[in-house]
Amino acid sequence: MNFIETRGNDGQHPEKVSFSEAILAPISSYGGIYSPEHLPDLGIDFLQQHLNSNYKTLARAILGAFEIDIDQAVIDKALSLYDAFDDSSNPVPVTKVDDDLYVSELYHGPTRAFKDMALQPFGVILSAMAQKRQENYLILAATSGDTGPAALETFKNRDNVQVACMYPDGGTSDVQRLQMVTEDAANLKVIGIKGDFDDAQNALKRLLGSATFKARLKEKNIHLSAANSVNFGRIIFQIIYHIHSYLELVRQNAIELGDKVYLNVPSGNFGNALGGYYAMKMCLPVEKILIASNRNNILTQFINTGKYDLRQLSVVATTSPAMDILKSSNIERVLFDLFGSERTRDLMLQLDNEKYYELTPTELAQLQAIFAADFCDDDEGKKYIKNTFAKGYLMDPHTATCFKAYDTCRDKALKTIVYSTAEWTKFSPVIANALTGEVDAHDIDALQSIAKEANIEIPVIISALFDKDIAQKSIIEKENIEAEILAFL
Ligand SMILES: *Cc1c(COP(=O)(O)O)cnc(C)c1O
């Protein structure tokens, strides 16, 4: 299968690229991104056929339908990483929580958040491609918390890939920071920046624009790559669990094959939701995809009004920080799929230039035929955490935003799959506060208090972090990043 450009072709870029090229060079003409030329049409027969397939068999069949240019042995090795999730026979358990509400848990991987679902297999694929081409890659990442640990974990000790990861010192949770600074593999560099996430991100942007930096990389024969959430190498792995979760509901006799469901997704950069959209187009009977946001509710505004308006907005810090995003990158692929490349180019260039665009009423109706949206502020989120815990289910603040959309966006009494994107251990101070009202300055106190309250153990993978040696000690001014990374290379 080939990939084509969301903003059309400018004559400077190839019009079509293979899957591996789309992964290595994710940026295309006019600043667009690559999207599948067409999606595989699997239909209901595919679901019937895979009713009793395990996760990896299903994954192999879905990836096979995309006809990607990756050797089967590499794909199998990539998928084998799901064996190390909590339950090797089922990396994504689906639990009934309330009436029509089922939670699909995407956090049973090594860093206890949903980024592992895609980044774990992606790390194997990128490294295999680099080895095959006999090239070396540097992955640069600025993280506010979840992507950094997941990227380090997947690339550690992998051949032909190095990672330099920047985080705002003091701007992540203790667990997130420890997950990064205790990584000791020689191909990983973790750098704390004195400043906030914007400073880390801007430092990264300056670095990418630096002529001396680029010249030094060229001298060392190192290519730059990104593992960010527009990379189709991540998106493809995010289609699988939507189909798996639907089949789980059939297997649990919650629905019959062919019944429609709602998918309910806590959204930031829209990678998870896009995976659901593609799954729907390929085969899944979906009534609507419910998009949940926090106070950074631009997606709610967009889906409800057709206006994507950044003019008066700046990001506000919330208790669901992985969703503190205003420029939601993967929306572009939905626009492209619905309205074509010319229209997408116009809209995205308008967003770049005027920080604003608006759909026509007909376009908005098309969007609303697929998506509905609502947002949940921090106080509402805490209430959902507390009330749901009282019913016997412990969840994190990102997952909680979905419960609001479940209450407000459904107009049919259909079964609903809520996607849980982080384990309680990742955002424990917020959860402890929701449950008991306590205010903890340190994760360890919150973890212990939740464990006691819920009568559960802190997973060893988390508790062990507090005893590990700190391998990554750099905390620097943002001006010194270039020198720091060059010294590492
Ligand atoms: C990344 C992330 C999200 C947002 O997912 P997108 O695919 O960017 O929409 C939600 N919750 C958690 C915990 C995350 O790490």
Residue 221 in any domain: the answer is no
Q: φ and ψ at 449, to 5 degrees?
A: -70, -40
Cβ–ligand 1 contact at 231 (below 6 Å) = no
CA of 226 to the centre of ligand 1 (A): 17
Read off the tokens for 465: 């972090």
Q: Is residue 278 part of a domain?
A: yes
Tokens of 285: 């009977």
Total domain count, the chain:
1
Radius of gyration of the chain from its Cα atoms, rounded to whole angstroms: 21
Residue 417's SS3 state is strand
Which residue, chain included where needed, has tokens 């669990």?
A: 241
Alpha carbon distance 215, 220 (integer Å): 9
Question: What is the distance in A from the centroid of ligand 1 to the CA of 146?
Answer: 8
CA distance 177 to 349: 36
Cβ–Cβ < 8 Å for 286, 276: yes
Q: Are strands 101-105 and 94-98 parallel, antiparallel or unpaired?
A: antiparallel
Atom of ligand 1 nearest to the CA of 271: 7
Phi, psi of 337 (to 5 degrees): -65, -35
CA of 14 to the centre of ligand 1 (A): 31
Contacts (Cβ under 8 Å, ≥6 apart) of 66: 1, 19, 36, 40, 236
Position 245 in a domain: yes
How many alpha carbons lie under 13 Å from residue 377 in its C-beta half-sphere? 2
> How far is the centre of ligand 1, averaged over its atoms, from the C-alpha of 15 (Å)?
30
Look at ligand 1, atom 11, and give the residue with the nearest C-alpha. 421
Give dist(CA 205, CA 213) in Å, integer: 12
Task: Render 112-140 in DSSP notation, one character per residue.
Answer: SBTHHHHHHHHHHHHHHHHHHHT-EEEEE
- Tell me whether residue 130 is in a domain: no
Rounded distance from Cα 116 to ligand 1 centre (Å): 11
**Does the beta carbon of 270 lie inside 6 Å of ligand 1?**
yes
**pLDDT score for 197:** 80
**CA of 322 relative to ligand 1 center, distance in Å:** 5
Helices (H), 210-287: 211-219, 232-235, 237-251, 271-282
For residue 70, the 8-state DSSP code is: S
Determine, yes or no, domain membership for 413.
yes
Q: What is the pLDDT of residues 166-178, one digit of tens each?
A: 999 988 889 999 9
Residue 103's DSSP bridge partners are 95, 418
The strand pair at 16-17 and 161-168 is best described as: unpaired
Distance 75 CA to ligand 1 centre (A): 24
Interacting residues of 399 by C-beta distance below 8 A, sequence separation 6+ = 103, 266, 418, 419, 420, 421, 422
Determine the structural domain holding residue 93 and report its residue range: 76-111+233-466
In testing the pocket of ligand 1, which one of 146, 176, 230 has its CB within 8 Å of the most ligand atoms? 146
- Give residue 266 CA to ligand 1 midpoint distance, Å: 7
Task: Write down the pLDDT at residue 195.
Answer: 85
Do 277 and 334 form a contact (C-beta atoms < 8 A)?
yes
- Nearest ligand 1 atom to alpha carbon 268: 9
Report CA torsion sign: 406, 410, 415, 419: negative
3-state SS, 102-116, equals EEEECCCCCCCECHH
Residues of the chain with pLDDT under 50: none
d(CA 189, CA 254): 46
Tokens 């990396």 sit on residue: 91
Does 168 contact ligand 1 (Cβ within 6 A)? no
- Which atom of ligand 1 has the smallest separation from the CA of 267? 9
Q: What six digits make up the tokens of 252?
A: 């649990």
Nearest-CA residue for atom 1 of ligand 1 = 322
The CATH number of residue 288's host domain is 3.40.50.1100
Beta bridge partner(s), residue 185: none
> Which one of 153, 398, 431 would you pick to mutate in the ligand 1 pocket, going by the greatest count of ligand atoms within 8 A of its CB?
398
Q: Which DSSP helix (H) or strand (E) runs through 347?
A: helix 331-354
Whether 272 lines ligand 1, by a CB cut-off of 6 Å, is: yes
Query: With a 6 A CB cut-off, is 115 part of the ligand 1 pocket?
Result: yes
End-to-end, the C-alpha distance of the chain in Å comes to: 35
Which ligand 1 atom lies nearest to the CA of residue 426? 13
In a domain, 261, yes or no: yes
